């Protein structure tokens, strides 16, 4: 078991045999399943979107880092989503003195 969670959605093919009029026919069915380094077990889904919802739910359950200390740009800072990021924590918020400027977004 590891403390670091690295969940990812994996596509796999499952072979299904069906008896028909001409004999037994085999087909492959695509399914998506969540895997993580914590060795949790999740059910397979027919769509990637459903498996990705499992991934997000898992990250929310195991996240122990307060929201203000989580990385806001995981790809740029090479961190997993929900991990502590020293770059984001030590950044100073810019006060440009523009009215309506709230957290970097201008409301029109």
Q: Mind listing the pLDDT tens digit for each residue in 12-70?
A: 888 877 776 777 777 788 999 999 888 888 899 999 999 999 988 888 888 778 888 88
Looking at the 3D structure of the chain, how many domains does it have?
A: 1
Q: Which residue range is the domain that position 57 belongs to?
A: 8-92
- Is position 37 within any domain? yes
80 in any annotated domain = yes
Residue 84 in any domain: the answer is yes
Q: Return the number of other C-beta atoms located less than 10 Å from residue 65's C-beta.
A: 13
pLDDT in the model for residue 3? 65
The answer to whether residue 103 is domain-embedded is no
Answer whether 0.85 is exceeded by the pTM: no
Q: Does 71 fall in a domain?
A: yes
Contact between 37 and 56 (Cβ < 8 Å)? no
Q: Which two tokens stand for residue 65?
A: 């880092």
Structure tokens that stand for 8 in this block: 């990812």
Q: Averaged over 59-84, what is the pLDDT?
A: 82
């Amino acid at each position: 078991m590891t403390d670091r969670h690295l969940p990812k959605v994996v596509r796999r093919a499952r072979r299904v045999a069906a008896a028909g009029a001409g004999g037994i026919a085999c087909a492959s069915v695509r399914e998506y399943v969540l895997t993580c380094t914590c060795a949790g077990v999740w059910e397979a889904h027919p769509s990637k979107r459903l498996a990705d919802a499992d991934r997000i739910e898992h990250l929310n359950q195991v996240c122990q880092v307060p929201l203000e200390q989580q990385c806001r740009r995981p790809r740029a800072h090479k961190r997993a989503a929900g991990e502590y990021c020293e770059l984001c924590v030590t950044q100073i918020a810019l006060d440009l003195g523009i009215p309506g400027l709230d957290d970097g977004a201008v409301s029109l």
